[in-house]
Amino acid sequence: MINHVAGSGADVELRVPADGAYVYVLRTTAASIAGRLDFTVDDIEDIRIAIGEAASLLLDLGGTGTDLLCHFALTSEQITATISLPSESPLPIVSDSFAWQVLSTLATECDAGHADGRAHIRLALRSTLAAMDVAPGQAAH
């Protein structure tokens, strides 16, 4: 169980080529991580979609031949995913765009930024159980 290991917070980092074909890998990895923490099936499918959307938004900046870096900071109740791509400018986020509407529905919090030559999107994904104030480890009992 990731759960016990992750009590104090664990990190997972994944670097893939900046290519749409690898978005699936990120999606699947995120879903697999969420499944091992106590996220519900709905949460997991939302996370799958959110990671895919965020990664695709970043890929729109171009960046062919570079890399997409996905960092997951885990606690038992929340995954904070930061996906970044080398770029001279930040992602032009229009906060009332459809894409942003999708991300902000799926994630508890989301923002975009630019640091060290990389544009990033950060998604905070909180489990439904945590929101319902159920101790995650006891969910199955």
Partner 1 sequence: MNQLREDEDVRDRAETPLEAIRRKSRDLFTELGSLPEDSPGALNAREALVHLHLPLVDHCARRFRNRGEPLEDLVQVGTIGLLKSIDRFDLERGVEFTTYATPTIIGEIKRHFRDKGWAIRVPRRLQELRMQIMSATAELSQQLGRSPTPRELSVHIGCSLDEVIEGMASANAYSTLSLDAGSDSGDDQTPRLVDSLGVDDLELDQVEIRESLKPLLEGLDPREKRILLLRFFKNMTQSQIAAEVGISQMHVSRLLTRTLERLRNSLEPE
Residues that bind partner 1 (CB under 8 A): 1, 28, 31-32, 35-36, 38-46, 48-49, 52-53, 56, 60, 96, 98-99, 101-102, 105, 128-129, 132, 139-140
Say if CB 31 and CB 44 are below 8 A apart: yes
Q: Length of the chain, please?
A: 141
> Which tokens is 110 given?
């989301």
Say if CB 37 and CB 79 are below 8 A apart: yes
Taking the complex as a whole, the smallest distance from the CB of residue 26 to partner 1 amounts, in Å, to 13
Name which of 42 and 116 has its Cβ closer to partner 1. Answer: 42
H helix or E strand, kind and range, residue 128: helix 128-131
Name which of 9 and 24 has its Cβ closer to partner 1. Answer: 24
Taking the complex as a whole, the smallest distance from the CB of residue 92 to partner 1 amounts, in Å, to 12
Name which of 115 and 138 has its Cβ closer to partner 1. Answer: 138
Torsion of CA 15, 26, 107, 3, to 10 degrees: -90
Name which of 117 and 124 has its Cβ closer to partner 1. Answer: 124
Name which of 52 and 116 has its Cβ closer to partner 1. Answer: 52
* CA 37 vs CA 34, 49, 126, 138: distances in Å: 5, 18, 11, 12
Written as one string, the DSSP assignment of 16-32 is EESSGGGHHHHHHHHHH
